Amino acid sequence: MKTKLGCATLLLVVLAAPVLLVLVVAAREPAAPPMETVGKVSGIPQRMLAAYQNAATRLPDEVPKCKGMRWPILAGIAKIESNHAGGRKIAATGDITPRILGVLLNGSGAGGNTTTFNDTDNGRWDGTSSGERAVGPFQFLPSTWETNGRDANDDGETNPHNADDAALGAAVYLCGNGRNLADRSQLKSAIFQYNRSDAYVADVTSWIDRYSQLGNGTIRIGQGVTGDARTVINAALEEKGTPYSWGGGTANGPSRGHCCSPSGKSGANITGYDCSGLTTYAYAQVGISLPRTAAAQAQRGKRIPASRGIGALRPGDLVFFGYGSDSTIYHVGIYLGDGQMINAARPGTKVRTEPIWDHGYAGGTRLL
């Protein structure tokens, strides 16, 4: 039986059409990626990052003739010296506990140093009066701190075990009488003065270059990403905080895994993802079916060799890690841009964003 539409009904249909069109378009257009600010930039605790930035800001008052001091320079030094006070508590005041103490420099060769350094601080900073130890997140000798230490948190004390004081002291020391650290050769000279080793200079400058790409230290993940790549990234980011489960994760979401990882950890009682389970789920949201292992996933799509560097990656690409060949690939994540990826890293962790690992980078694959 045919049903006739009255004018009023027809008018409602016509008026509703634009609304329906908007709803259809909205349904097809995925939501913008979460504007997620990374609190830890390339592994830097937020409090340490603040200390580096504060020191760079205050330096002109200490060494007016110095040019080119930036927070990545201080971060590069602290990365090598203490991994940004890794494993320590950093109070709001900047005080670091427990104290970071180097080996006793008594000529024994421990820590690679064969020179004896006599005590200069009676154990005030390094806890011993029988010799010298490097101290704090920037590993100052007490004698060097005596002339370069600064009070950057305005508590009336110059303390090498305080993040703010130590960062400003390091900035002063690197600047000397007024270097131009924007000049690469002068920057390398300053770092060499800090530790007279060409290998050390190379390590520090590589970290400075990496941190320099991060601007003010804040990364907005997902900006400028469109289409299916945005859908994949959104899907993965929404799983942040989901537990790692060996063998866990399907195209439908987190699932219980099985026993056992190479380290002997079972996922049988954990609902979550392993690395390839997360990528399988994220790509399923755009209708792409992936094989179950990271090594097999590397055989899909357009391969991006490691030799091209991470600069060849685009947000949404799979990024791999292995031991030198595709057959040895053991880990996969999803590239977010700005040197960051999201992944289910290992047993005992949760799905997280982090910098692309330095070790074992095996390139990527483009599926979109």
Distance, in Å, from the CA atom of 313 to the CA atom of 307, rounded to the nearest integer, reads: 12
**pTM, rounded to two decimals:** 0.56
Which class for 190: exposed (0-12), middle (13-18), buried (19 or more C-beta within 10 A)? buried
Please compute the mean of the pLDDT values over residues 103-130 and round it to a whole number. 81
Rounded percentage of the chain residues whose pLDDT exceeds 90 = 64
271 in helix, strand or coil? strand
Q: Taking residues 22-50, what's their average pLDDT?
A: 52
CA gap 73, 210 in Å, rounded: 10
State the pLDDT at residue 113: 67
Which band of pLDDT confidence, cut at 50, 70 and 90, is reported for residue 82?
very high
Residue type, 100: I
**Helices 198-212 and 184-194 sit at what angle, rounded to 10 degrees?**
120
Is pLDDT of 218 > 80?
no
* Confidence band, pLDDT 50/70/90 cuts, at residue 17: very low
Distance CA 105, CA 302 (A): 53
Higher pLDDT, 128 or 77: 77
Average pLDDT value for residue range 255-263: 94
The residue-averaged pLDDT of 295-304 equals 96
What integer pLDDT is reported at residue 37 of this predicted model?
43
Cα separation, 288 vs 135, whole angstroms: 53
Q: What is the DSSP letter of 220?
A: E
The mean pLDDT of 290-297, rounded to a whole number, is 97
Interatomic CA distance for residues 259 and 198, integer angstroms: 46
Confidence of residue 106 (pLDDT cuts 50, 70, 90): confident
Pairing of strands 271-272, 255-256: antiparallel
User: For residue range 153-179, what is the model confidence (pLDDT) as tens digits?
Assistant: 989 999 999 999 999 999 999 999 999
Q: What is the 3-state secondary structure (H, E, C) of 54-105?
A: HHHHHHHHHCCCCECCCHHHHHHHHHHHHCCCCCCEECCCCEEECCCECCCC
Q: Look at 91-95, 225-229, 345-349 and tell me which has the smallest mean pLDDT.
A: 225-229
Helix orientation angle between 46-62 and 163-175, rounded to the nearest 10 degrees: 40
Mean pLDDT of all residues in the chain?
85
Q: If pLDDT is split at 50, 70 and 90, which confidence band does 338 have? A: confident
Instruction: Give the whole-angstrom CA distance, residue 45 versus residue 318.
Output: 27
